[in-house]
């Protein structure tokens, strides 16, 4: 089949869990399908884009800066990208059998739906998160929040086939009135059982993610300072970047932890991989996760994780208490520190249980199971079109 993926970010030019997921999925689908990835230019003129092997890349020049200084998504770049998607798809609607698009940032999906109404190909939409009206107001203010929620509800109404990465997102879709087909994809991990191992460990906790308010990475320095009262050798590596980075660095300086906590920014996957393999634990004090792929990647390396309970955090579903990690009840630094100490004291036995848990669930958590699900949806859509 001829598949078009639509997303305005491309890994590794833009780093994130979902970006990496799309790269892994398109690379694997390209082994049995003709796959095109429609995105925007995210590289300098003298750079060559790093496309997934076997995937044709189409890049639109729609603006480089996706985020405001506060970390919110800008409106103009998605609007421009959405217009570019509409033009490309309208001109080439006979060249694709299926379009798969991320719901967010909405305008590209609306363009795909518009072309579908004009005789274009059917659409499968990835719904990673569904935001509540309360969160929209918090994110964009009273007026902007109402507009954002209305656009999201419009896109839910335009969706015919939905993929989610968690039951949390699937239930949220249903709560917003969605009544069509939902496929909850099984897993994202690309780690093989042979690659998973319990390497020698250092007393280090790792964080990986964008430095935005929802991730609460600025709570980590305080938690490390408190935990070091019990475990003086404890350290941390905070990977990533974003608008909250200055708060993290300020906390590190205030607590005099410059020799204890590293903040190297976004790093190549190989370096993050090496750090997760030698760390005693992953710390992810995020209140919102559509899945939590970094949690599974840590667990696959025998590294237990600490996540935080919350109504919008699907990562908690990945944790079995005291088997592959712990779920903290809040992001308070003292609470995080308590769970850091608990994980440290659990020692090699917890890491052995973590690795065993992954081995027992690898077939469900691996990306190959997800590819089978996607292929099945594609086949069903193709058969329905033929029957029509």
Kindly report the CATH number assigned to the domain that includes residue 62: 3.40.50.2000
- The range of the structural domain enclosing residue 315 comes to 202-365
- Whether 11 and 110 share a structural domain: yes
Query: Are residues 133 and 52 part of one domain?
Result: yes
Distance of CA 326 to the CA centre of its chain: 20
Q: Which of 54, 3, 57, 23 is nearest to 367 (CA)?
A: 23
> Do 124 and 30 belong together in one domain?
yes
Among 207, 239, 209, CA closest to 223: 207
- Please check whether residues 6 and 134 belong to one and the same domain: yes
388 pLDDT exceeds 70? no
Answer whether residue 188 shows pLDDT above 70.
yes
Position 46 confidence tier, pLDDT thresholds 50, 70, 90: confident
Residue 204 CB partners (closer than 8 Å, separation 6+): 234, 235, 236, 237, 275, 278, 279, 280
Same domain? 183 vs 245: no
Instruction: Report the C-alpha gap between 306 and 221 in whole angstroms.
Output: 15
Q: Is 57 helix (H, G, I), strand (E, B) or coil?
A: strand
* pLDDT score of 198: 60
Q: Chain centroid to CA 44: how far? A: 25
pLDDT at 109 over 80: yes
Q: Do 179 and 136 have their domain in common? A: yes
CA 158: distance to chain centroid? 23
**269 close to 291: Cβ distance less than 8 angstroms:** no
Give me the count of residues in the chain.
388
Residues 78 and 122 in one domain: yes
Same domain, residue pair 183 and 213: no
pLDDT tens per residue across span 248-284: 999 999 999 999 999 999 998 889 999 999 999 999 9
Identify which has the larger pLDDT, 63 or 270: 270
194 pLDDT higher than 70: no
pLDDT tens by residue, 120-170: 999 999 999 999 999 999 888 999 999 999 999 999 999 999 999 999 999
Stretch 351-373: mean pLDDT: 92
What confidence tier does 380 reach under pLDDT thresholds 50, 70, 90? very high
| Omega before residue 12 within 30° of 0, cis | yes
Q: What is the pTM of this model?
A: 0.90
Task: Supply the DSSP string of 127-148, one letter for each residue.
Answer: ------HHHHHHHHHHHHHHHH
CA trace torsion 99, 104, 106, 109 (10° rounding): 0
Residue 195 lies in a domain: no
One domain, residues 140 and 243: no
């Amino acid at each position: 089949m001829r598949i078009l993926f639509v997303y305005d970010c491309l890994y590794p030019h833009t780093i994130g869990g979902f970006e990496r997921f799309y790269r892994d999925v398109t690379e694997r689908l390209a082994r049995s399908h003709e796959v095109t990835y429609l995105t925007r230019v995210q590289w300098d003129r003298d750079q060559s884009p790093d496309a997934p092997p076997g995937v044709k890349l189409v890049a639109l020049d729609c603006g480089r800066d996706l985020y405001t200084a506060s970390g919110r998504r800008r409106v103009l770049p998605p609007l421009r990208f959405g217009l570019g998607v509409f033009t490309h798809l309208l001109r080439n609607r006979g060249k694709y059998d299926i379009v798969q698009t991320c719901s967010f940032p909405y305008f590209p999906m609306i363009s795909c739906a518009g072309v579908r109404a004009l005789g274009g190909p059917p659409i499968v939409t990835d719904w990673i998160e569904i935001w509540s009206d309360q969160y929209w107001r918090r994110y964009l203010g009273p007026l902007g929040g109402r507009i954002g929620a209305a656009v999201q509800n419009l896109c839910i109404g335009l969706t015919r086939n939905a993929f989610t990465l968690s039951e949390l997102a699937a239930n949220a879709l249903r709560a917003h009135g969605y009544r069509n087909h939902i496929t909850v994809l099984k897993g994202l991990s690309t780690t093989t059982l042979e690659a998973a191992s319990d390497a020698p460990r250092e007393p280090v906790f790792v964080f990986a993610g964008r430095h935005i308010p929802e991730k609460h990475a600025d709570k980590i320095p305080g938690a490390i300072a408190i935990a070091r009262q019990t475990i003086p050798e404890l350290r941390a590596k905070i990977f990533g970047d974003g608008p909250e980075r200055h708060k993290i660095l300020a906390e590190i300086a205030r607590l005099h932890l410059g020799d204890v906590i590293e903040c190297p920014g976004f790093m190549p996957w190989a370096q993050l991989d090496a750090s997760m393999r030698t760390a005693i634990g992953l710390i992810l004090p995020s209140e919102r996760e559509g899945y939590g792929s970094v949690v599974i990647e840590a667990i696959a390396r025998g590294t237990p994780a600490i996540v935080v309970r919350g109504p919008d955090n699907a990562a908690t579903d990945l944790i079995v208490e005291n088997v592959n990690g712990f779920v903290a009840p809040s992001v308070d630094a003292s609470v995080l520190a308590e769970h850091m100490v608990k994980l440290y004291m659990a020692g090699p036995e917890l890491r052995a249980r973590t690795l065993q848990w992954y081995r027992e669930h690898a077939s469900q958590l691996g990306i190959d199971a997800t590819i089978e699900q996607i292929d099945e949806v594609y086949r069903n859509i193709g058969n329905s079109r033929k029957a029509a």
